[in-house]
Structure 1
Amino acid sequence: MPFSVPVVDITPYVAGGDDAARAEVARAVDRACNEVGFIQVLGHGIPEPVTDGLAGAMDEFFGLEMDAKREYRTPAGINRGYAPPKTESLSLSLGVESANRMNDFFEAFNVGLAASDFPGVEVDPVHYAENTWPDADAPGFRAPVEAYFAEAGRVARTMTRIFADALGVDASVFTSRTDHSLDVLRMNNYALPAGTDVRLDGDLTGMGEHTDYGIVTVLWADRVRGLQVLGTDGGWHDVSPDPGALLINLGDLTARWTNERWMSTLHRVKPPIVGGTIERRRSAAYFHDGNADALIEAIPTTVPAGEEPLYPPITVGEHIAAKLAGSREGRRNAPGRETARVLAARDED
């Protein structure tokens, strides 16, 4: 069967729907999570002016001179602010050694929920770092980014309500572990200065193969080819969103939670070369990762009788810290169950 990303309209969960309509959405999401791990979501309710505003804000910041952008760089252990090109290698988060370690050429800017967003809750200030805003150099950046952040967070929480119904568990399974969730919006820009060598090989990769770390990712992206998903056939397949759609994919914590009834999806980015240069591509990934102190262990109904869970319990914070140490600090993470899938993959190009 040809590879495709299922399209699911979640309007019954966003704008109100009867039990039958919601049940059909939950069944469709269950199939997509079980078979592909990526979903194209329509009916999400994010107004087009909000996504247009996000795109404009990204253009404003990423259009700055490099020296100005570097002023907003934060230490590797702080998942906020600016990350220049070739300072990360996402494949190391899986324990996969790259030919040239820090070779992903995308640049990014991260914002997220901070300790100040949860007054009265004791949280780790490293995980919940305060944001670094480029107000002095990009005054039009913050407001539209905050507007999109709020909308994407709403969609992520809607997806976890659908997940609970699809899995046949009470919604509190998710809500009790996400009331001070580690949520981060990562805005990515794939472009290189004129004259840069653009061979997409071991020395230069858009974004290396990886799984997302948390519960669910809400992805807005240009309709520019580059995102590739590893299918169950072992091949990499191009994916781009339909008009007006958001891409939804699962993270490692959901794979652990569901004992791999649903799997986190391996993906990478290889933007096309057009006329000797890389065609520019933008994306914004909202990572809904769960409370840093939440313990994630397999939902009992997902573990067959007489068997042990595939993963030991782990806290969200421990898992995220290990993954970030690989991608941002260059320390190869311990190989996991996904690593073998990457090493066995074949290119379809």
Structure 2
Amino acid sequence: MSTDLLTPDKIASVSLAEADRDPDAFAQELGHSFEEYGFAVIADHGIPQELIDRAEEQAKAFFALPEEIKKKYALGQGGARGYTPFGIETAKGHKAHDLKEFWHVGRELAAGHQFREVMDDNVWPAEVPGFKATFLELYDTFDRTGLKVLSAIARYLGMDEDYFRDTVRDGNSVLRLLHYPPQTEPTGEHIRAGAHEDINTITLLLGAEEAGLELLTKDGRWIPVSPKPGQLVINIGDMLQRLTNGKLRSTSHRVVNPSPDRASNARYSMPFFLHFRPDFTIEALPGTVPAGEQPKWPPISSHDYLLERLREIKLT
């Protein structure tokens, strides 16, 4: 399988089409990158460019609305639905808030669904025509793509490739539309996104072509993650790290402030935080705990873990 190496550190850059042509080789390349870096880059992911372009334009249209209109949609809910204003989210262990605002789209559930008590209804901005249809379509497309990546991860772990299908069925996954405004004055200690690890199972990120995303290597170096236009960045979240007893890395990453020549440019991106279903118990998989040792983390439900982490980042 050909690999377009993005850095001397050899973060895997693979084509999702290879998952069908040579599933074992694809799984090995992806899995090794997740073990070493917690990150990989994926091309040919199947998300239509027309849908990506439409979503980007509608996200920009929403963030361009007056503040008083946007704040109509700031409903709390742990930041899980609707709008979260600039200056709210703060990385775990940090005092300085991130320089960003965002919108969240969650899963649409039928009346009477068992998870409705822990998953709120979406809200939609009436001021942006087509917003609901576009982002529900993108959400579903991300969901399908994520499942294909998880199948490769299961294969890498020596498990049935359909293992994750039930673990994420009706999962509390969230699509985030991110806006980092232009920087026209000194930002002090604040950066676009402070160093953090993601809470969820895996994250699929569109829109990381604008420089700024960096990951922390095992030996303590910050290195850039620089996908080509249209490629997906995938990273492991804390939930999957716990499930694999640390075999797959949930890597600290950040979005640094732009260089002076790019400071007047806004940055937009769309991460999809794929989650386990709320009642799934996260405990070390068989074979991931060495003989004679205890798991690194105790069992916990994915919902309880999510609430614990949301409190830490000041979204609840």
TM-score with structure 2 length normalisation? 0.92
Letter in 1 for 2:279: D
After TM superposition, give the deviation of residue 114 of structure 1 in Å.
3.6
Q: Structure 2: how far apart are the matches of 1:131 and 1:73?
A: 12
Question: Counterpart of 1:163?
Answer: 153
Per-residue CA distance 1:145-191 (angstroms, 9 max, x = gap): 22211211111111111111110112453122111111100110000
User: In the alignment, is residue 108 of structure 1 matched against residue 102 of structure 2?
Assistant: yes
Q: Which runs of 5+ in 1 are unaligned?
A: 331-349
Query: 2:274 aligns to what SS in structure 1?
Result: strand
Among 180, 183, 190, the alignment partner of 1:190 is 180
Corresponding residue of 2:115: 123
Superposition TM-score, scaled by structure 1 size: 0.84
C-alpha deviations, 1:112-139, integer Å up to 9, x for none?
A: 10433xx5541153x311001002x112
- 2:4 alignment partner in structure 1: none
Of 312-321 and 170-179, more deviation after overlay is shown by: 170-179
Q: Indicate yes or no: 2:243 matched with 1:269.
A: no
What residue is the counterpart of 1:68 in the other structure? Answer: 69
C-alpha contact 1:198 1:278 (8 A) present in aligned 2: no
Deviation per residue, 1:183-209 (Å, 9 max, x gap): 1001100004x75x333x42x221111
Task: Measure the CA separation in 2 of the matches of 1:50 and 1:209.
Answer: 30
Amino acid at match of 1:97: H
Give 1:8's match in structure 2, choosing from 8, 14, 28: 14
Instruction: Quote how far apart the aligned CAs of 1:259 are.
Output: 0.8
How far, CA to CA, are the matches of 2:113 and 2:77 in structure 1?
Answer: 25
Per-residue deviation, 1:140: 3.3
Structure 2 equivalent of residue 347 of structure 1: none
Offset, 1:232: 1.6
Assess if the C-alpha contact under 8 Å between 2:79 and 2:104 holds in 1: no
Q: What is the count of residue pairs matched by the alignment?
A: 310
Whole-Å Cα distance in 2 between the matches of residues 142 and 328 of structure 1?
27
SS in 1 for 2:249: coil
User: Does 2:164 align with 1:174?
Assistant: yes
Find out whether 1:304 has 2:296 as its counterpart: no
Structure 2 unaligned regions, length at least 5? 1-6
The equivalent residue for 1:25 is: 26
State the SS of the aligned residue for 2:75: coil
Determine the C-alpha separation between the residues in 1 that align with 2:243 and 2:152. 15
Choose which of 224, 238, 241 in structure 2 pairs with 1:238.
Answer: 224
**What is the distance in 1 between the residues matched to 2:60 and 2:214?**
24
- Aligned CA RMSD, in angstroms, stands at 1.9
C-alpha contact (below 8 Å) 1:209/1:267 kept by paired residues: yes
* Alpha-carbon shift at residue 214 of structure 1 (Å): 1.1
**Cα displacement (A) at 1:42:** 1.2
Displacement of 1:280 in angstroms is 1.2
Tell me the distance in 1 between the aligned counterparts of 2:280 and 2:220.
Answer: 33
Deviation at 1:291, TM superposition (A): 0.6
- CA–CA separation in structure 1 for the residues paired with 2:65 and 2:256: 24
- Is the Cα–Cα contact under 8 Å of residues 207 and 269 in structure 1 kept in the other structure? yes
Measured after TM superposition, the shift of residue 78 of structure 1 is: 4.8
Structure 2: distance between partners of 1:133 and 1:274: 35
